[in-house]
Amino acid sequence: MQTKEEIIKILYKTTKEASNNAMNKLSYIIIAKDGWIIKEFRNGNIKKIKPIEDYEKFREFGKIR
């Protein structure tokens, strides 16, 4: 059985690999960052698409947990 830390490490690695593959194939990825849905391009430019609704409420909830 794997520990929580091992599972998080595996998830981080596979997520990073999937992100890199998408970036290589599409030249961009769509991610959530700092309360926004953004399009991040291979050259490092970003385009804000849409703010995340109730992001501040979610942040406050996260601090409580």
Per-residue pLDDT, 55 = 82
Say whether pTM exceeds 0.85: no
Helix, strand or coil, per DSSP, at residue 33:
strand
Is pLDDT above 90 for 1? Answer: no
H or E stretch covering 5: helix 4-26
Average pLDDT, the chain: 89
Q: pLDDT tens digits for 8-19? A: 999 999 999 999
Q: How far is CA 55 from the centre of its chain?
A: 14
DSSP secondary structure code for residue 52 in this structure: P
